[in-house]
């Protein structure tokens, strides 16, 4: 049993090492420029050893994405449980999550940016693609962020009644991720050019969005 535990621990550590090394290569060189052999070499292992963990580069990509989404969803739910659970509070939680990622793990945003083309290609057919192979039916998936924002009852009095739920949720996701990704790509330049930091600009951006969607009805609990 001890020997088996040691092997499992080594296997887990090796898997983490592979994913970390691969993510760094994808961010630095771009996904298309990174080969399976290069990932193995960066980890100090052979291709045959790497094949014990993954069959191809796409599996590595999706495993990295899968782990990140799992972490995001857990934190998002933690934020949400501390709110009054209105539509407006869901948008607050979403933007809070984005700022957290920007401040603590900007490399996540750089990876997701590099991964976006592969993600779009593979999710065009949700039924038959690798998406359903990676995510189990009961897991929070990357596409569930839209459903989280929209909720069961969108117009609950906390946001403007004239907002189209689909449009505003899509706008929040694309503009939100777009903003923090751009900020993560050039944090030093932001300081030099604007004499402020990326986190502050994220706060300003998200505050403007939240102000624009908030209900103007007096006494509304948002």
Mean pLDDT computed over 31-47: 94
Sign of the Cα torsion 63, 65, 69, 75 reads positive
Cα–Cα distance, 214 to 203 (Å, whole number): 16
More confident residue, 150 or 1: 150
Predicted confidence band at 221 (pLDDT cuts at 50, 70, 90)?
Answer: low
Predicted local confidence at residue 126, as pLDDT: 59
* Domain ranges within the chain, ordered by starting residue: 1-55, 58-213
Query: Which tens digit of pLDDT belongs to each residue from 171-200?
Result: 999 999 999 999 999 999 999 999 999 999
- Please spell the DSSP secondary structure of 114-161, one letter per residue: HHHHHHHHHTTSTTTSTHHHHS-TTSPPTTHHHHHHH-S-S-SSSB-T
Least confident window among 3-17, 141-155, 207-221:
3-17
Answer yes or no: is pLDDT of 164 > 90. yes
Task: Please check the confidence at residue 3 and state whether its pLDDT lies above 60.
Answer: no
Question: Is pLDDT at 8 greater than 50 in this prediction?
Answer: no
Query: What is the pLDDT averaged over residues 74-78?
Result: 94
User: How many percent of the chain have pLDDT more than 70?
Assistant: 90
At residue 81, the pLDDT reads 96
If one counts every other C-beta atom within 10 angstroms of the C-beta of residue 204, the result is 12
- Residue 208: which H helix or E strand, with range? helix 198-213
Domain 1-55 CATH assignment equals 1.10.10.60: yes
**CB environment 148-167: b (16+ within 10 A), e (fewer):** bbbbeebebebbeeebebee
């Amino acid at each position: 049993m001890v020997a088996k535990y040691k092997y499992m621990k080594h296997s887990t550590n090796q898997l983490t090492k592979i994913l970390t090394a691969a993510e760094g290569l994808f961010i630095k060189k771009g996904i298309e420029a990174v080969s399976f052999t290069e990932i193995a070499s960066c980890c100090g292992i052979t291709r045959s050893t790497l094949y014990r963990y993954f069959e191809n580069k796409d599996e590595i990509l999706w495993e990295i994405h899968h782990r990140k989404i799992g972490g995001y969803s857990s934190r998002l739910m933690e934020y949400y449980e501390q709110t009054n659970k209105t539509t407006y509070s869901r948008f607050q939680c979403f933007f809070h999550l984005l700022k957290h990622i920007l401040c603590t793990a900007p490399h996540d945003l750089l990876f997701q940016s590099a991964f976006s083309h592969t993600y779009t290609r593979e999710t065009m057919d949700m039924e038959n693609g690798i998406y359903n192979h990676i995510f189990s039916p009961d897991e929070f998936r990357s596409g569930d962020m839209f459903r989280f924002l929209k909720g069961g009852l969108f117009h609950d009095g906390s946001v403007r009644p004239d907002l189209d739920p689909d449009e505003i949720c899509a706008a929040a996701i694309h503009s939100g991720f777009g903003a923090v990704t751009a900020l993560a790509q050039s944090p030093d330049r932001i300081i030099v050019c604007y004499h402020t930091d990326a986190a502050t600009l994220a706060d300003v951006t998200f505050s403007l969005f939240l102000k624009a969607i908030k209900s103007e009805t007096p006494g509304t609990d948002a």
